[in-house]
Amino acid sequence: MASDARAAEDGGAPPPRPVADGFLRFLIPAPKPRPAAPTTAPARLVPPHRLVAPPPAAPALLRPEERLHIVPPTRPDWLPPPPPRQPPAPPLRSPSPWVRPRPFPPAFGEPRTRNAGRFAGQVNGARGRSPASVAHSSGGGRSGSQKPKAAAAHKEKKAWVAVEKKGEDAGDDDRAAVSEGYSCGDETGTEAEDQLEPEGEQDTGGHRRGLDREDDAKNSLDMAANQECSGGGGERPSELVCQSNQATHSRGRMGRSQVECRPDIDTFTPGLLALYESLKPSEEHKSKQKQLVDSLAKSVSKEWPNAQLHLYGSCANSFGTSHSDVDVCLEMEIGTASTVEVLLRLADVLRADNFDNVEAITSARVPIVKMSDSGSGFSCDICINNLFAVANTKLLKDYAQIDQRLLQLAFLVKHWAKLRGVNETYRGTLSSYAYVLMCINFLQLREPKILPCLQAMEQTYTMNVDGTECAYFDEVHQLQYFGAENKESIAELLWAFFHFWAFHHDYRRDVISVRTGSTISKQEKNWTTRVGNDRHLMCIEDPFETGHDLGRVVDRQTIRILREEFERAAAVLQYNDDPCVALFEPYDYEN
Ligand code: CTP
Ligand code: MG
């Protein structure tokens, strides 16, 4: 759980993988001597991830300094030479058509902090500003470096009128923002404040050819203006009304939603696939992970001999990259003890066995013990009796076997999200698990479909978790050719994924649902208002715990950030000369 909150860990191992060329230089293993292999022979795991017997000989461990280095990307060798740049060549980060413009400098008195970054606004900005300054701010610092010219042009197109101020006064709102942080603190915001407002016009989902780049840039700016009219993806439905720009705005969003993919998109498929291959964990990496789990199992079995150990998350669902952590669930009888008490005891046991950085996190929705292994550099989250996670791990693993484009898409999206800083649940963005569900649902919705809906098919597998039946069709070997009719390449799908989340998804009305293989309405889920910390601004239904919205962590600021990032990614893939480089450019928090 929450592995996304940690810095990417890596177990890339000597000998180094051949990644010296092109943009794959993102990932260059540091050459380090191989440490001695451990002498103990701990127990081992066999499918389906149960602790049953002693392990095979353990391979060498990586030292922490052997993690992969991220180096600045360069143009891939396989790309043709770039054509001469056409003026105006939009830089990636500011006055580009795909970055929401910040039309005005910060409001008077608004703090400008170094490294304010996109999240700083939660404390400094949007929530506590007057309606006017909310209207004029892009929020979060992501687009804070707009050129004044673009700002002025944008300003002319808008007329903002504050018509109502709901809920607390600005001062209260500020306090709410501060108390909220990005965790589970008590919040004082109102339900109404956290709902998305109706958009002037919904996307039709239809595609048409013919928008040239200039039109598209204009449309994007219009759309940005419109989104600010509509609260930038969700804020203050009745506070602000943009009078003059509604029609332009709707046209803009429509225009963007109707853009077709660039005709040469497939030329980027080889590069994206090479990146995907480089992200896959090596065999050595996997065996080191297993070694960590074996040591853990040994420690646990001393205290709880009947405990069963399950791997879950990306180390067991096939979506694990070379940066993924290890997620472990202990299934055990805890009698009258609470989960928290058992976790605190577990933390003591692990400390006594010299695991590093052991920490019990007991206030989370799913309490865990976190620890790391300094030998391998891996980190590990351990939870107790969270069998929903074990069930959804199997579901994801089964989906992954149906069409290889799911793994490819999800690896690239996860990699993008980590580098762009939008895979941090503690800051209000999305978990890796949520991104994988988004990918599955996206492929379920393609025409022709690339993935089926396993939970809507005959139930060949069932697991009862706390009275909930987790059932679906798991004979996926029968579905090998399910998506064969759809010939879309990974480059096309990646673009379409970002474009879908930037321009097609109806954030106001829809919940994505892998369970139904479609989208369902917020109304149907009763996710129309904020309840406690669950804002339901961006809704992703958990396939088995159907009352759980994986987008619950997304707030008014981070939904804006996410949408900006989806827009940026779609535009980079659409227009950039070097999309494979620019797409994965690490987000620069300093500027
Ligand atoms: N999980 C869950 N409910 C959540 C978040 C996570 O059930 N709200 C479970 C899922 O089984 C998921 C696992 O916890 O697969 C790990 O979640 P996460 O760390 O987000 O995903 P990973 O796939 O492990 O991603 P990473 O490679 O980044 O570690
Ligand atoms: Mg994980």
Domains and CATH numbers, the chain: 283-390 (3.30.460.10), 403-583 (1.10.1410.10)
pLDDT at residue 145 greater than cutoff 70: no
What does residue 497 show for φ and ψ, rounded to 5 degrees? -60, -50
Q: Does residue 195's CB lie within 6 angstroms of at least one atom of ligand 1?
A: no
Ligand 1 atom closest to residue 386's alpha carbon, by position in its atom list = 7
pLDDT at residue 149 greater than cutoff 50: no
pLDDT number for residue 517: 98
In this prediction, residues 187-216 reach a mean pLDDT of: 41
Q: How many CB atoms lie within 10 A of CB 4?
A: 25
Q: Does residue 4's CB lie within 6 angstroms of at least one atom of ligand 1?
A: yes
> What spacing in Å lies between the alpha carbon of 285 and ligand 2's midpoint?
15
> Which band of pLDDT confidence, cut at 50, 70 and 90, is reported for residue 174?
very low
> What spacing in Å lies between the alpha carbon of 197 and ligand 2's midpoint?
34
- DSSP alpha helix (H) spans, 280-369: 283-303, 339-352
Residue pair 575/559 in contact by the 8 Å Cβ criterion:
no
Closest residue by Cα to atom 6, ligand 1, is 1
pLDDT number for residue 242: 30
> Which band of pLDDT confidence, cut at 50, 70 and 90, is reported for residue 44?
very low
- DSSP alpha helix (H) spans, 206-305: 213-229, 231-234, 246-257, 269-279, 283-303
DSSP labels for 353-392? TT-EEEEEE-SSSS-EEEEE-TTT--EEEEEES-HHHHHH
Region of 278 on the Ramachandran plot (φ > 0 left; ψ -120 to 50 alpha; else beta): alpha
pLDDT number for residue 250: 43
**257-261, 312-316, 568-572: segment of lowest average pLDDT:** 257-261
Q: Does residue 392's CB lie within 6 angstroms of at least one atom of ligand 1?
A: yes
pLDDT at residue 516 greater than cutoff 70: yes
Please state whether beta strands 539-541 and 518-521 pair in parallel, antiparallel, or not at all (unpaired): unpaired
What does residue 292 show for φ and ψ, rounded to 5 degrees? -65, -45
Residue pair 375/357 in contact by the 8 Å Cβ criterion:
no
> What spacing in Å lies between the alpha carbon of 67 and ligand 2's midpoint?
17
> What spacing in Å lies between the alpha carbon of 412 and ligand 2's midpoint?
16
Identify the nearest ligand to the CA of 389 by its number: 1
Identify the nearest ligand to the CA of 4 by its number: 1
Residue pair 172/188 in contact by the 8 Å Cβ criterion:
yes
pLDDT at residue 107 greater than cutoff 90: no
Which residues, other chains included, contact 25 with Cβ-Cβ below 8 Å and sequence gap of 6+?
A: 19, 71, 73, 74
> What spacing in Å lies between the alpha carbon of 490 and ligand 2's midpoint?
24
Q: Does residue 411's CB lie within 6 angstroms of at least one atom of ligand 1?
A: no
pLDDT number for residue 382: 97
Q: Does residue 549's CB lie within 6 angstroms of at least one atom of ligand 1?
A: no
pLDDT number for residue 377: 83
